[in-house]
């Protein structure tokens, strides 16, 4: 954890980890668990215990369903059960906290047998059908959406959160695949303008990919899509909208490299690069099969976890803690940060003392001191209309600097969710 330096007139600066950590590949685990987004969780549609699956096989409950997973190993399904979300509950609504899932556990054989349904095509249809489970979880929905005109693709060659270096490692080590992926991406989507954002030091190296290379600031939150839109692309995303609404799709460098490999070899990439950060801050990039249980990663790095430690999926500013080491690495799990209980900051119940730290640190200039008063009182509509709730990009910096240690991020999340539920209810009544 980075504490505030002794002297600090201005706002604290949190810097990204820019130099890729050493890469280490783990062998195929004994079993993997895949999470299939599913409105009716449980076995069905041929996905049941005892079924044999091959590496790269597309698993879906019905041929029409848009939801699928790609098996990352060859073996036999040993269990199919409804999955409890990160917080131990099945959430009845879609969104940040997840969607009901069916967890499919597959006992892996040592040798891979590759499925031959995917043969190396590179069209938008195959992208929707197969590429949604590539490492990095690229989404091609926006290209197929007639309501959206996509004019630009931004490839993130720098991780969005602190400490993580998985994408930096891809840019450093997998230049050829990245180049191939960019070519495929351009042909597949028909989008000409492809930006590649990398740390300053990697600009020279990245130019050879043929993309338009832009250097990102090393200071958090420069890597978040909304900040890249504002600082690099030059388009401010209006509140309540996404970069895709503005004609820009974000894809991680890892996903693009996986795309390149998959199209070239005709085999879907099934390995994910995960930055594992030990308690001391020492990090390793592990290349593992998607679905590998987290504890296999921890064992691979020789990490022991104690009671009341935290396991953070993602980075320290925006990640999600998880309650069990048995949960799997998913296609979009960029990092696994192990935080010692002594390092975990406690929240307080002091009221806002109006010190103004949050105002200075907010990258989108929200009057957090006023916002939090409205959120605490439950006036969510006023918070949105007068104090810019919907402009929040959830970088977490205000909570990081809060002297009173108010759970600001929790309040913001709660308010956004309440407002979304109210809007949904209103739409239903009309």
Partner 1 sequence: MNRELTDKKLVVSHAPYWHDGRTVSSRYRQIMLAALPAVLMGISQYGSPALGMISLATASAVAWEFVMNLVLGKRITVGDGSAAVTGLLFGMLLPATAPWWIVVLGTFLAIIVGKQIFGGLGLNPLNPPLLALAMLVISFEGIFDFNAALRNYELGFAMTYPLADLKALGTAGIDKFAIGDLFMGKQIGGVGATFGLGLVIGGIYLLIRGYVRWELSLSFLAGVFVTAWLFHLADATAYAGPMFHLFTGYTLIAAFFLLPEDSSSPVNFIPMLVFGALAGLMTVLIRNIGAYVDGVPFSILLLNLANPLLDKIRPKAVGKVVENA
**Residue 234 found at the interface with partner 1 (CB under 8 A):** no
For residue 335, the minimal CB distance to partner 1 (Å) is 12
Crossing angle of the two packed helices 166-173 and 175-189, in degrees rounded to 10: 100
Q: Which of 144, 207, 236, 342 binds partner 1 (CB under 8 A)?
A: 236
The whole-angstrom separation of Cα 1 and Cα 343 is 7
For position 364 contacting partner 1 by CB under 8 A, the verdict is yes
Q: How long a stretch of residues is the chain?
A: 430
Q: At closest approach, how far in Å is the CB of 60 from partner 1?
A: 29
Binders of partner 1 in range 136-195 (CB under 8 A): 162
Structural Rg of the chain based on CA atoms:
22
- CA–CA dist 73, 291 (Å, integer): 9
Torsion-angle region of residue 327: left (phi > 0), alpha (psi -120 to 50) or beta? beta
Does residue 27 belong to the site contacting partner 1 (CB under 8 A)? no
Cα–Cα distance list, 181 to 165, 208, 238, 287 (Å)? 20, 13, 30, 19
Q: Does 396 bind partner 1 (CB under 8 A)?
A: yes
Look at residues 134, 135, 59 and name the one whose alpha carbon lies nearest to residue 101. 59
| Cβ proximity to partner 1, 162 vs 206, nearer residue | 162
Q: How far is the CB of 379 from partner 1 (least distance, A)?
A: 16
Sequence-distant (6+) residues with CB within 8 A of 262 are 118, 120, 130, 131, 134, 268, 269
Q: Binding partner 1 by CB under 8 A: which of 76, 86, 139, 217?
A: 86
Nearest to partner 1 of 199, 316 (CB atom):
316
If the CB atoms of residues 2 and 144 are measured against partner 1, the closer one turns out to be 2
Task: Single out the segment in contact with partner 1 by CB under 8 A; choices: 75-83, 165-173, 211-219, 334-342.
Answer: 334-342
Site for partner 1 in 296-315 (CB under 8 A): 298-299, 304-312, 314
- For residue 410, cis peptide bond before it (omega within 30 degrees of 0): no
Confirm or reject binding of residue 318 to partner 1 (CB under 8 A): yes
Residue 388 binds partner 1 (CB under 8 A): yes
Residue 8 lies near partner 1 (rule: CB under 8 A): yes
Q: How far is the CB of 27 from partner 1 (least distance, A)?
A: 16
Residue 123 vs 306, nearer CB to partner 1? 306
Q: Name residues contacting partner 1, limited to 411-430 (CB under 8 A).
A: 413
Both tokens of 104, joined, read 């499919």
Q: Which of 73, 352, 383, 415 binds partner 1 (CB under 8 A)?
A: 352
Counts for the chain of helices (H) and strands (E), in that order: 13, 16
**Distance from C-alpha of 53 to C-alpha of 46, rounded to nearest angstrom:** 11
């Amino acid at each position: 954890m980075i504490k505030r330096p002794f002297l600090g007139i201005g706002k604290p600066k949190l810097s990204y980890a820019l130099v890729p950590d050493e890469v280490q590949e783990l062998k195929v685990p004994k079993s993997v668990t895949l999470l299939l987004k599913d409105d009716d969780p449980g076995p069905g549609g041929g996905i049941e215990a005892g079924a044999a699956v091959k590496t790269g096989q597309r698993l879906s409950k019905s041929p029409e369903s848009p939801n699928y997973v790609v098996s990352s190993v060859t073996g036999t399904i040993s269990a199919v059960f409804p999955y409890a979300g990160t917080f131990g509950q099945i959430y009845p609504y879609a969104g940040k906290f997840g969607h009901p899932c069916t967890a499919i556990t597959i006992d892996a054989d040592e040798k891979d047998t590759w499925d031959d349904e995917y043969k190396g095509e590179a069209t938008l249809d195959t992208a929707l059908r197969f590429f949604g489970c590539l490492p990095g979880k690229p989404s091609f929905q926006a290209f197929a959406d007639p309501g959206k005109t996509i004019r630009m693709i931004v490839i993130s060659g720098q991780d969005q959160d602190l400490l993580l270096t998985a994408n930096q490692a891809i840019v450093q080590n997998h230049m050829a695949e990245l180049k191939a992926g960019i070519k495929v991406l351009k042909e597949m989507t028909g989008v000409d303008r492809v930006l590649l954002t990398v740390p300053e030091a990697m600009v020279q190296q990245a130019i050879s990919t043929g993309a338009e290379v832009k250097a990102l600031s090393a200071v958090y939150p420069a890597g978040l899509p909304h900040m890249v839109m504002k600082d690099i692309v030059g388009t401010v995303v209006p509140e309540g909208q996404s970069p895709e609404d503005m004609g820009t799709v974000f894809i991680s460098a890892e996903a693009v490299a996986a795309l390149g490999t998959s199209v070239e070899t005709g085999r879907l990439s099934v390995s994910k690069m995960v930055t594992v950060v030990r308690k001391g801050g020492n990090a390793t990039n592990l290349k593992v099969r998607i679905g590998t249980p987290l504890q296999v990663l921890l064992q691979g790095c020789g990490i022991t976890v104690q009671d009341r430690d935290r396991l953070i999926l993602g980075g320290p500013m925006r990640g999600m803690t998880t309650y069990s080491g048995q949960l799997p690495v998913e296609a979009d799990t960029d990092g696994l940060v192990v935080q010692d209980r002594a390092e975990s900051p406690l929240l307080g119940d002091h009221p806002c003392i109006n010190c103004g730290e949050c105002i200075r640190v907010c990258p989108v200039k929200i009057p957090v001191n006023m916002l939090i008063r409205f959120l605490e009182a439950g006036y969510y509509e006023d918070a949105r209309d007068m104090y810019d709730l919907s402009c929040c990009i959830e970088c977490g910096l205000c909570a990081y600097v809060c002297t009173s240690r108010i759970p600001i991020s929790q309040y913001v999340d709660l308010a956004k969710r309440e407002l979304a539920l109210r809007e949904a209810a209103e739409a239903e009544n009309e």
